[in-house]
Structure 1
């Protein structure tokens, strides 16, 4: 009985820590706190989105360049799911992304598919793959405007 309780408690602690990892990703990215942000990934962590980038050095370079090209941006993530098996976790979380580039406001939505790993007692992203459903100027609206490269669904 005590062993089952310990497993359940560990599961709850892991889910809460993964929720914090995902929230910190948004906050640190939006606040452009780069050293802390790239530390959310494993040493060889992978980000697939606008570009495929692997490792903290490349992640740092990519996100700094991305931020320089974008006046402002905000990430909002909800509806996270996670399956945990030992020190590995997989899940999906929904994304709303708002940004301003060259004085124009953009709106987008999509999701992240995450693989997370416990490293030195801390959860980190092994990989984070973003799929956009649309990305469009706010003034034009988003109806019927899929994100370029979006996979067709049947």
Structure 2
């Protein structure tokens, strides 16, 4: 059963989780792995297709591997955040993420999405008051044929 929270508390949580998802897309797009990792709890559980990462160390390998051999340009757009706020420190959410990505320097053409996916998340608010992603499961819905695998795998 969902916690009894005031409207203001619910709106504050929603704003924080929207900011969290926006920060995820921004840091991922700009290859800021250190800032990206700060958005997750230490024992994060993250899945994308067949790739499973447990903990920040494994997740760091995935994110650092994205541009390890050549320049990768990407933009992630998320929308439709649906939240189930369980308490002042726990929430679940789903949203849709559309990805435009290719190897090389911008501008790149054509601008065709390489992936449309559902993000199914669990969020936790830490003792420091910050919300973080506890679990993220990426379910691929539409995939461009050139998209050869989960994040971190080279073509």
5 Å-filtered alignment, 1:60-139, equals 60-68=60-68, 71-86=72-87, 87-101=89-103, 107-120=114-127, 121-137=129-145
- Rounded to whole Å, the distance in 2 between the matches of 1:12 and 1:104 is 39
After superposition, the Cα gap between the structure-2 partners of 1:134 and 1:68, relative to the gap in structure 1 and judged at 3 Å, is farther
Offset, 1:104 = 8.7
Structure 1 alignment gaps of length 5 or more:
139-146, 149-154
More helix by share: 1
The equivalent of 2:58 in structure 1 is 58
- Preserved CA contact (<8 Å) 1:104 1:137: no
Provide the C-alpha distance between the structure 2 equivalents of 1:124 and 1:33, rounded to a whole number of angstroms. Answer: 16
Runs of 5+ in structure 2 lacking a partner?
150-155
Higher Rg of the two aligned structures: 1
Question: How far apart are residue 137 of structure 1 and its match?
Answer: 4.7
- Classify the secondary structure of the residue corresponding to 2:22: helix
Measured in 2, the distance between the counterparts of 1:78 and 1:67 equals 25
Tell me which stretches of 4 or more aligned residues in structure 1 moved more than 3 Å.
101-106
Partner of 1:48: 47
Count residues with an aligned counterpart.
Answer: 136
Compare relative contact order (CA 8 Å, sep 6+) and give the higher one, 1 or 2. 2
| Alignment check: 8 A CA contact 1:45 1:126 kept | yes
Question: Contact 2:66/2:72 (CA < 8 Å) preserved in 1?
Answer: no
Contact 1:109–1:135 under 8 Å retained in 2? yes
What TM-score do the two structures reach when normalised by structure 2?
A: 0.78
RMSD: 2.4
Deviation at 1:29, TM superposition (A): 0.7
